[in-house]
Amino acid sequence: MRKSGVAGPLGLAVVIVAAALTACSTSGAGAGANGPCDSPGVTADQVKFGFVFSDTGTGSEALSSARLGVDARIGLVNEEGGVKGRHIIYDWRDDAASPSTNVRVTQALSSSTFGLVGVTSSSGGSLDALAKEGVPYIGLTQPSYAKYPNVFANVYDAAPETIGRYFLANGGTKVAMVSTGGATFTVDLAARYRSAFESIGLQVAPLIPFAASADSPARVAQQIADSGANALMGFTTVDDLAAIVQATRQANLALTSTVSTSGYDRGVLASAGPALSGVSFPVYFRPFEAGGPAIDRYRAAMARFAPQAVQPEEKFAMYGYIYADMFVRGLELAGDCPTREGFMNALRNVTDYDAGGLIEPTNLRTNPTTPLQCAAFVQVNPAGDAFRVVRERLCANGQGT
């Protein structure tokens, strides 16, 4: 793959042609109302951002699709004329899912681009420096990133009560929790979910750690049965959950619902779909299966500007598309001569960002400290070869459709 370029198949040639058509008299810098624009990455006819993602390394099988979503959204805006007469291009780096590599490649991009988009779980070590330098960062986040004024996302955190409401709506009264291993992070996460579930009237059984190399799925199924639980929450790998769900069936456990925090992925259907039939997943954007104008626009953009996508309906491709859309929105609001500070101030004042209908309307003033309250839920169908929407919208307060 090339390290720099324009999103989509139009390639660099489109930028060259567009530059010839829209170039200003100022050479090498954009011209605004108050004179030349000298923000990093901004010229008379282009804005360049940096994109960091995990194209290799742990988890890259899912995360690598994010670039396709970025290509689709940026290709779409460039086809429509760009932003304020400027086409958007990007320079990308693979952090190989390594925190140290992330720091190195992020530093390499931050001085030469206007801002950064990231789809990686390894960015934590880079954010202090980006905050000091005032570099906008849009992307995959976690709750601890909310302290950075330069970081933007539609989801920092999601209310676990929403999943609890799903259990209740399906007749669940007591939830068993199973985790892959017993890492401190997972134990703490399960404790948070326990507290949230209990606050809305669910009982919760003790967390059951599972190690595929040493434990028997049948043993886990027996522990679930002994606990008296009639619902199951998985903080596991997909393979571990598939083995456990199969064991609960063999034990004839009457579970009202099983929910996993991860697994909404077409690749999961290919590898473990039948074993996961009936398992539900929360989705924090409009599910592909729900259709509608926003999904149609996404699909069309993917077909035109990321035709190499074997399966365009992937979660992280959608995340890449949404983060690129948020970058476009910030540029649209930042004025004719965008600055990093102006971009961040304008984007932070957006109170109803919805990525063109793809996500729940989000107040970017408050969402760093307010967990997302609503989600959709999809479920693996009985044949295990497709997802189906079972709730288009369910919120932590029990409201929804």
Indicate the burial class of 279 (C-beta count within 10 angstroms; 0-12, 13-18, 19 or more): buried
| Average pLDDT score over residue span 135-150 | 95
Among residues of the chain, what percentage have pLDDT more than 90? 82
Cα–Cα nearest to 218, from 241, 244, 197 = 244
Q: Please check the confidence at residue 14 and state whether its pLDDT lies above 50.
A: no
Global pTM value = 0.88
Q: Please check the confidence at residue 11 and state whether its pLDDT lies above 70.
A: no
User: What integer pLDDT is reported at residue 25 of this predicted model?
Assistant: 33
Q: In which band, very low, low, confident or very high, does the pLDDT at 2 lie, cut at 50, 70 and 90?
A: very low
User: What integer pLDDT is reported at residue 31 of this predicted model?
Assistant: 52
Going from the C-alpha of 349 to that of each of 194, 311, 352, the distances in angstroms are 34, 35, 9
Tokens of 248: 């609960």
Lowest mean pLDDT among 32-41, 225-234, 295-304: 32-41
User: What integer pLDDT is reported at residue 182 of this predicted model?
Assistant: 85
pLDDT digits (tens, 9 = 90+) for 192-221: 999 999 999 999 999 999 998 888 999 999
Tokens of 161: 């009560």
The per-residue pLDDT of the chain, averaged, comes to: 90
Domains and CATH numbers, the chain: 4-157+291-348 (3.40.50.2300), 160-283+374-395 (3.40.50.2300)
Strands 279-283 and 257-260: parallel
SS (H, E, C) 284-345: CCCCHHHCCHHHHHHHHHHHHHCCCCCCCCCHHHHHHHHHHHHHHHHHHHCCCCCCHHHHHH
CA pair distance 344, 389, nearest whole angstrom:
35
Q: Please check the confidence at residue 28 and state whether its pLDDT lies above 90.
A: no
CA pair distance 16, 375, nearest whole angstrom:
42
User: What integer pLDDT is reported at residue 37 of this predicted model?
Assistant: 85
Neighbours of 230 (CB within 10 A): 20
User: What integer pLDDT is reported at residue 36 of this predicted model?
Assistant: 66
Start-to-end CA distance of the chain, whole Å, equals: 43
Cα–Cα nearest to 195, from 170, 172, 163 = 163
CA pair distance 71, 25, nearest whole angstrom:
29
The residue type at 114:
F
Determine contact, residues 132/155, Cβ cutoff 8 Å.
no
User: What integer pLDDT is reported at residue 61 of this predicted model?
Assistant: 83
CA pair distance 329, 122, nearest whole angstrom:
25
Determine contact, residues 120/63, Cβ cutoff 8 Å.
yes
User: What integer pLDDT is reported at residue 22 of this predicted model?
Assistant: 37
Q: In which band, very low, low, confident or very high, does the pLDDT at 123 lie, cut at 50, 70 and 90?
A: very high
Q: In which band, very low, low, confident or very high, does the pLDDT at 10 lie, cut at 50, 70 and 90?
A: very low
Q: Please check the confidence at residue 58 and state whether its pLDDT lies above 90.
A: no
CA pair distance 312, 337, nearest whole angstrom:
35
CA pair distance 344, 333, nearest whole angstrom:
10
**Where is pLDDT greater, at 177 or 32?**
177
Tokens of 52: 């960091």
| Average pLDDT score over residue span 136-144 | 94
pLDDT digits (tens, 9 = 90+) for 240-271: 999 999 999 999 999 999 999 999 998 899 99
Q: In which band, very low, low, confident or very high, does the pLDDT at 113 lie, cut at 50, 70 and 90?
A: very high
pLDDT digits (tens, 9 = 90+) for 316-375: 999 999 999 999 999 999 999 999 999 999 999 999 999 999 999 999 999 888 899 999
pLDDT digits (tens, 9 = 90+) for 276-319: 999 999 999 999 999 999 999 999 999 999 999 988 999 999 99
